[in-house]
Structure 1
């Protein structure tokens, strides 16, 4: 792993507890950049479920990380997957998904699944690329985080990463109704702000 990627991965996996038997869920495990670090931190403790939609990547991860449960599935199946393995809630959800890419419905559905499976004091981390923060989808995701969690803290940019990236640290998922109401209000305010900007030009 390149030094920059290692620094970013270290920031992403920061909420993994150093003791106890936590339930750690990884979304979009990909080539396993975060998977290996999570396994190092757990050291055989707890439960590590890594969800990867690509069957070839999932198969490769399963061979390299036998202590983790590598699941070839979609992030939207997260609540069912935890129930299938008898795990009531996740202490940490770590995302390797490209949140600035999907449309609004996909972002909302996936984030709702994360919020639903997290324990009341659970933590969620996701990374974003510094150059993409002005994209409409990236701004929308940031608003959705605010409506879904009581606390959202953007980390410092890791300039050594290629491309430079930063990590969102979110804690304490909001109840569903509360999240939906805040999300609707945030979307309305964003729409009005965009309309006001158009009228000035």
Structure 2
């Protein structure tokens, strides 16, 4: 019971998320943070428990970030990239030596990974709304993910829109798709696995 978040903390996180959605609707993919059911589905799809290097694109208020940290191995590293400065400050306050919180744009993914001297990620998880990005930026992010992923690495994107699938197919092939209904709004969870050859 000690690990449960206080009710005030949950309410404050949801309120902050909604406020930032109103201020930056093109950057924030939903009006409230992910449900625990969606978080569980994302972690299973990304096989977090066996990953050494994990990248999260779009950490929001840090709910999924905390879920990743709880599930990942003790020796693993999590690079969390957030473009919104308010969300970044919330994630930066998480006390865990395995977390690297970076304020920046996912378009700079290759440079950001290089900056922190990280190896090829076994898992990349994205909550950034590809539906609001222009095609060039979206393709740039997906190309970077595809080239950086370790062999057999997983890319998992949780999205309201189907747009990420058409962006990914030229780089990562066909997707697996699941739908999590126990989330507001219901969310599609897409998964790609990079070929080992």
Instruction: Give TM-score scaled by structure 1 length.
Output: 0.74
Distance 1:112 1:65, change over 3 A: farther
Give the structure 1 partner of residue 21 of structure 2.
none
Residue aligned with 1:119, SS: coil
Distance 1:174 1:46 in 2: 21
Give the structure 1 partner of residue 66 of structure 2.
36
Distance 1:28 1:165 in 2: 15
Higher helix share: 1
Residue aligned with 1:93, SS: strand
Give the structure 2 partner of residue 169 of structure 1.
191
Contact 1:154-1:169 within 8 A present in 2 as well: yes
Contact 1:149-1:172 within 8 A present in 2 as well: yes
Contact 1:79-1:113 within 8 A present in 2 as well: yes
Q: Does residue 81 in structure 1 map to residue 112 in structure 2?
A: yes
Deviations 1:109-140 (A, max 9, x none): 111121121112110000122xx44xxxx2xx
Structure 1: 5+ residue stretches without partners: 176-201
Q: Give the Å deviation of 1:173.
A: 5.8
Instruction: Give TM-score scaled by structure 2 length.
Output: 0.75
Q: Give the Å deviation of 1:28.
A: 0.7
Q: Flag the structure with larger Rg.
A: 1
Distance 2:55 2:81 in 1: 8
Residue correspondences, number: 165
Residue aligned with 1:126, SS: strand
Query: In angstroms, what is the RMSD of aligned CA positions?
Result: 2.4
Contact 1:29-1:96 within 8 A present in 2 as well: yes
Give the structure 1 partner of residue 79 of structure 2.
49
Q: Does residue 111 in structure 1 map to residue 133 in structure 2?
A: no
Contact 2:177-2:190 within 8 A present in 1 as well: yes
